[in-house]
Each structure stands twice: as structure tokens, then as C-alpha cells.
Structure 1
Amino acid sequence: MTHPLIPQIIDLATPIVEEMGLDVVEVVFQTNKRPPVLRVDIRNPASDTSLNDCEQVSRALEAVLDETAIMPGAYVLEISSPGISRYLNSERDFIAFKGFEVNIATNPPYKDKKEWRGRLQGRDEKAVYLNRKGRAIAIPCAVITKVQLAD
């Protein structure tokens, strides 16, 4: 379940990050840690995400979060790059990683399988398309729980 502050944080972070030519990939608020950790994953679409990118976003976002005071009490702000072993969510992800090996989890099972692996061919509103050993497979979006780059 998503923390109720996440949409507000995304609304605050997105214009800051986009002004720097970067993308917000994911925002997670880990309230089970003391102090809680707010992690914002960013990506530089033009090149590898650098430490400098993370530092700039951290400074700018920290100032806005402090100014708006939406964070309840003390927290740790982490800005990071999601790396390549991550989940595919956005249309941009599916375009950028076309041709890469992916793992797809389904629930309920699709054609009696919960796990699928193949080369990503694309995605539309109905399905994610894989190439498995030369055969095209369309897995309905309605049963997909996650799509992740394969190791």
C-alpha cells in the first residue's frame, strides 16, 4: 500500500527534477525505519545518473520539503538511481528496454504459469509482448503483477 504522502511528494518533486532534465522514477516512504526514510529514485534520460544529479536533487527537494512542512517530524531523504535491475513501469521504460530479457510475474497464472521470461518486444494497453525462443507471446496486462529486467 502506498503511503498517503507519496502523491504530494511526487507533485513537489516532479517539477524540481524535470527542471534539471531528469525523471522521477519512484518514490518510497519507509516508515518502518527510525527515522523514516524518504527515497526518491531519479534517472537522467540523456546519460548515466551521476552523483552530482543526486546531490542537486537532494538539495533542491530538501529545501522544498522543509518549506512546505509536509513531512511529519524527522526523516532521512535519500536520492538515488534505480539501477538496471529494476521494475519496468512507464511507457518510457518499455521503449528503452525493448529487446532486453525481462521476467514477468502474473497473478492469476497465465496459461498455467506464474513466471515468464523472454525478450521484451513492446507493450500496449492490452498486453506485454515477449519473444520466447523465436515465438511471440502476448501476456495480458490484467494478470501482470510485475515486469523486471532479467539478471
Structure 2
Amino acid sequence: MDDLKQWIEPILAENGCRLYALEWLTNEKPPLLRISIEKLKGPVDLDTCAICSDAIGTMLDEKDWYQAEYNLEVCSPGAEHELTTDEQIQAAIGSYVYAKLKDPKQGVDHVLGDLVSADTDSIVIAYNVKGRKKKIEIERSNLAMIMTAVKV
């Protein structure tokens, strides 16, 4: 999988994207190589997935990566997806997010708002309560989950 990442990441970068997740699903028949991507600017669309899929498929064929039949799927992780790595959290700065806390802080056990900043120790989210703007700093150790969210 490490070789795959090293081969795939430059192709995605050339197309203004980055790798979100790489899955090798051997329980599928034939096995499925699923590559979830994010665009550096803007949402992932069908054309972006098709362009990246063609480029990655060509590269994998040239490298003769897998000796048997398999399916390749290049897709978006979806509008709402969990942020599981520091890189994903950093990339989401400025985005609307949902965060769930392990232990409530300032009477809050979850928050929806804009991710203002993030470092190795904490994240800061700006949110509204009854029309008032507030910010909350959440220690990473108190973060049960953080994911991108859609404003409604």
C-alpha cells in the first residue's frame, strides 16, 4: 500500500487533488482498489474523478501492479466525512465542521462551526449561539470525533 500511495499522490497533485483514503477491498469479487480524493480547491466532481481514474489506471497498468483482475474506483469521500489525520484536519481549516467532545466543555458536548485553527494540541472552532459569535478551543485529547459538515 505504501508503494501505491507513492505512485498515486503525484498523479493526484498534478490534477489539483490530494489523497483522502486508500482501500484495498479483497472481499469484493474481483478485488476493489478504492481511492478517495479531495480537491485542493473546490468540490470533487465527476470529471475530476474520471481524469484521475484514467491517469492512475494507466500508471497501474504500466507498473503491472496486480497480476489478476481488479476494479479501480476513484471517488470523493463525500460532503460529510470524518477527519482522521492531522493532514486532513489542517486541510479543513476554514471549513464547516462538526466536532464531538469526549467530556463536555463550557456546557458543550458537540459543536457545529468553522474550523479556525488546529495544532497538535488543540483545535479552535467559531460557532453561533442565538446570533452571538463564539469560539471554543478543544484539546485534541478531548476530541471524540471531527468531520466536515454541510451548512443548512
Which residue is equivalent to 2:137?
138
Which residue is equivalent to 1:64?
59
User: Cα–Cα, structure 1 residues 147 and 67, in superposed 2: closer, same or farther, change >3 Å?
Assistant: same
Identity between Structure 1 and Structure 2 (%)? 22
TM-score, length-scaled by structure 2: 0.73
**Runs of 5+ consecutive residues of structure 1 not aligned to the other structure:** none
CA–CA distance in structure 1, aligned partners of residues 90 and 26 of structure 2: 29
**Runs of 5+ consecutive residues of structure 2 not aligned to the other structure:** none
Shift of 1:126: 1.0
Is the CA contact 1:105–1:147 (under 8 Å) kept in the aligned structure 2? yes
**Which of these residues, 103, 119, 122, is aligned with residue 110 of structure 1?**
103
RMSD: 2.7
Which residue is equivalent to 1:37?
32
Which residue is equivalent to 1:84?
79
User: Cα–Cα, structure 1 residues 44 and 103, in superposed 2: closer, same or farther, change >3 Å?
Assistant: closer
Which AA in structure 1 matches 2:7?
L
Which residue is equivalent to 1:20?
15
User: Cα–Cα, structure 1 residues 116 and 72, in superposed 2: closer, same or farther, change >3 Å?
Assistant: farther
* Residue aligned with 1:94, SS: coil
TM-score, length-scaled by structure 1: 0.74
Residues 59-102 of structure 1, C-alpha deviations (whole Å, 9 max, x = no match):
1111222222333632210011223111232412223x0xx2x3
